[in-house]
Amino acid sequence: MQQEGQLTSVQVHGYQKRYDPEKYYMYILRIQRKGQADPTYLFRTYKEFCEFYQKLCIHFPLAKVAR
Protein backbone atom coordinates (compact mmCIF):
# COMPACT_ATOMS: atom_id res chain seq x y z
CA MET A 1 0.00 0.00 0.00
CA GLN A 2 1.37 3.41 -0.93
CA GLN A 3 1.74 5.93 1.89
CA GLU A 4 0.03 9.29 1.46
CA GLY A 5 2.84 11.24 3.13
CA GLN A 6 3.45 12.87 6.47
CA LEU A 7 1.16 15.76 7.37
CA THR A 8 2.88 19.12 7.62
CA SER A 9 -0.22 21.23 8.33
CA VAL A 10 -3.98 21.00 8.73
CA GLN A 11 -6.15 24.13 8.63
CA VAL A 12 -9.85 24.84 8.61
CA HIS A 13 -10.11 26.33 5.13
CA GLY A 14 -13.79 27.25 5.34
CA TYR A 15 -17.31 25.95 5.75
CA GLN A 16 -20.48 25.54 3.73
CA LYS A 17 -24.12 25.59 4.75
CA ARG A 18 -25.99 22.70 3.13
CA TYR A 19 -29.50 21.26 3.13
CA ASP A 20 -30.35 17.54 2.85
CA PRO A 21 -33.27 18.18 3.57
CA GLU A 22 -32.34 19.68 6.97
CA LYS A 23 -29.71 22.39 7.33
CA TYR A 24 -26.20 21.30 8.35
CA TYR A 25 -22.68 22.67 8.07
CA MET A 26 -19.77 21.10 6.19
CA TYR A 27 -16.25 22.08 7.28
CA ILE A 28 -13.44 22.14 4.74
CA LEU A 29 -9.99 21.07 5.97
CA ARG A 30 -6.88 21.96 3.95
CA ILE A 31 -4.28 19.20 4.31
CA GLN A 32 -0.64 19.78 3.35
CA ARG A 33 1.66 16.75 3.13
CA LYS A 34 5.43 16.48 3.04
CA GLY A 35 6.67 16.04 -0.52
CA GLN A 36 3.41 17.19 -2.16
CA ALA A 37 3.15 20.67 -3.63
CA ASP A 38 -0.64 20.70 -3.89
CA PRO A 39 -2.85 20.44 -0.80
CA THR A 40 -5.78 18.06 -0.49
CA TYR A 41 -9.15 19.07 0.93
CA LEU A 42 -11.39 17.06 3.23
CA PHE A 43 -15.07 17.82 3.77
CA ARG A 44 -16.48 16.85 7.18
CA THR A 45 -19.73 17.57 9.00
CA TYR A 46 -19.67 19.32 12.36
CA LYS A 47 -20.37 16.00 14.09
CA GLU A 48 -17.46 14.30 12.29
CA PHE A 49 -15.23 17.28 13.09
CA CYS A 50 -16.07 17.04 16.82
CA GLU A 51 -15.38 13.29 16.83
CA PHE A 52 -12.01 13.94 15.18
CA TYR A 53 -11.14 16.55 17.83
CA GLN A 54 -12.04 14.14 20.65
CA LYS A 55 -9.84 11.42 19.13
CA LEU A 56 -6.93 13.86 18.82
CA CYS A 57 -7.26 14.74 22.51
CA ILE A 58 -7.31 11.04 23.49
CA HIS A 59 -4.33 10.03 21.36
CA PHE A 60 -2.27 13.16 22.04
CA PRO A 61 -3.23 14.33 25.56
CA LEU A 62 -0.14 16.53 26.01
CA ALA A 63 -0.48 18.33 22.66
CA LYS A 64 -2.07 21.76 22.48
CA VAL A 65 -4.90 21.55 19.95
CA ALA A 66 -6.52 24.88 19.06
CA ARG A 67 -10.29 25.04 19.39
Residues in contact with 45: Cβ distance below 8 Å, sequence separation at least 6, in sequence order: 24, 25, 26, 27
| Maximal CA-CA distance, the chain | 40
Residues in contact with 32: Cβ distance below 8 Å, sequence separation at least 6, in sequence order: 7, 8, 9, 10, 39
Look up the CATH number of domain 7-59.
3.30.1520.10
Band of pLDDT at residue 66, cut at 50, 70 and 90? low
Q: Where are the domains of the chain?
A: 7-59
Per-residue pLDDT of 24-36, as tens digits, reads: 999 999 999 998 8
- Given a cut of 50, whether residue 1 has pLDDT beyond it is no
Please tell me whether the overall predicted TM-score, pTM, comes out greater than 0.75 for this model: no
Helices (H) then strands (E): counts for the chain: 1, 3
